[in-house]
Amino acid sequence: MKFYTKLFLLCSLGVAFIAVQWSGSSFHAESLKGARVLVTGASTGIGEQLAYHYARLGAQLVLTARRGNVLEQVVNKCLEMGAQKALFIPADMANPADSDRVVQYAIDQLGGLDFLVLNHIGPSPYGMWDGDVEHTRWLLQVNFLSYVQMAKKALPTLENSNGSIVVVSSLLGKVSNPFELPYAATKFALNGFFGGLQHELAMQGSNVSVTICTLGLIDTETAMEKIK
C-alpha cells in the first residue's frame, strides 16, 4: 500500500473515531427523566413538538403561550405520553410583566428549573417592510426582550441546577434577506445577545449552558402559511 493511501486510511479512521466519541457523549435520554422544563410558544408548531419530546422522556413541564384552551390540550397529551408533571400558564409576552410571572410560576410549581426553552414568536407579515415602526417595536418585545427578561429571572435557579437556556433562533438571524425584516432583526438580536451571554457565563465559571438553535425552514403551519 502506498504511503498516501495509508495516511488517508489512518486519517479516515481517526475522523470516524472522533465522530463516534462525539455522538456517544452528546445525549443521554435518562438525564431528562424528571427534568424541570419550561417551554414557551408551546401551543403549536415547534414548541408543541418539543413539549411532546420532553414528555416522552419523562420530564416535568410548564408550558406557556397566549391560548390557554389550546395549551390545556397539549398538557393532556404530554401527560398521556409520559410527562411526570405537565402544567400550563397563559401569558402574552408583549406584556413585560408576563415574562417574570411565567418563570416564577414554573419555579414555584416545579421547585426550580433545569431547562428554559425560549421558542415563542409573535405574528409578523411576510412581504416588503411597510414602514410600521410600532409593529417592529412590538415584535422586539415579544421575540427578543421577553427572552432576555426570562433568562435573567431564571439564571439564579439554573445556576443551582447546572441548567440550560435553549434559544430557538433562525438562519434569518445570520443572513440578511428580504421580506421578513422585523422578524430577522429580532433573530439577529437573539444571536448577538445569547451568543455573547454564552461567553460571559463561561468567563465567570458559570454552570449554566446556552444553546442557540439556528433553524432553517420547518413545515409548521405558520411557516407554510407564509410561503404558499
Active site residues: 183
Listed ranges 3-11, 27-35, 38-46, 149-157: which one lies at the site for ligand NDP (CB under 6 A): 38-46
Residue 43 touching ligand NDP (CB under 6 A):
yes
Residue nearest to ligand NDP (CB): 45
Which position among 94, 159, 191, 209 is part of the footprint of ligand NDP (CB under 6 A)?
94
Q: How far apart are CA 224 and CA 228, in angstroms?
A: 6
Q: How far is CA 208 from the centre of its chain?
A: 15
Whether the CB-CB separation of 217 and 223 falls below 8 Å is answered with yes
CA–CA distances in Å: residue 161 to residues 15, 20, 36: 34, 28, 10
Kindly state the greatest CA–CA separation across the chain.
Answer: 70
CB of 162 to ligand NDP, least distance (A): 25
Residue 52 touching ligand NDP (CB under 6 A):
no
In the complex with ligand NDP, the residue whose CB is nearer, 168 or 185, is: 168
In the complex with ligand NDP, the residue whose CB is nearer, 150 or 155, is: 150
**63: three-class secondary structure by DSSP:** strand
State the number of binding residues for ligand NDP (CB under 6 A): 29
Residue 67 touching ligand NDP (CB under 6 A):
yes
Residue 155 touching ligand NDP (CB under 6 A):
no
SS3 for 140-206 is HHHHHHHHHHHHHHHHHHHHHCCCEEEEEEEHHHCCCCCCCHHHHHHHHHHHHHHHHHHHHHHHCCC
DSSP for 90-106, please give it.
E--TTSHHHHHHHHHHH
Residue 148 touching ligand NDP (CB under 6 A):
no
Residue 181 touching ligand NDP (CB under 6 A):
no
The site for ligand NDP (CB under 6 A) is made up of: 41-47, 65-67, 70, 91-94, 119-122, 142, 168, 170, 215, 217-218, 220-223
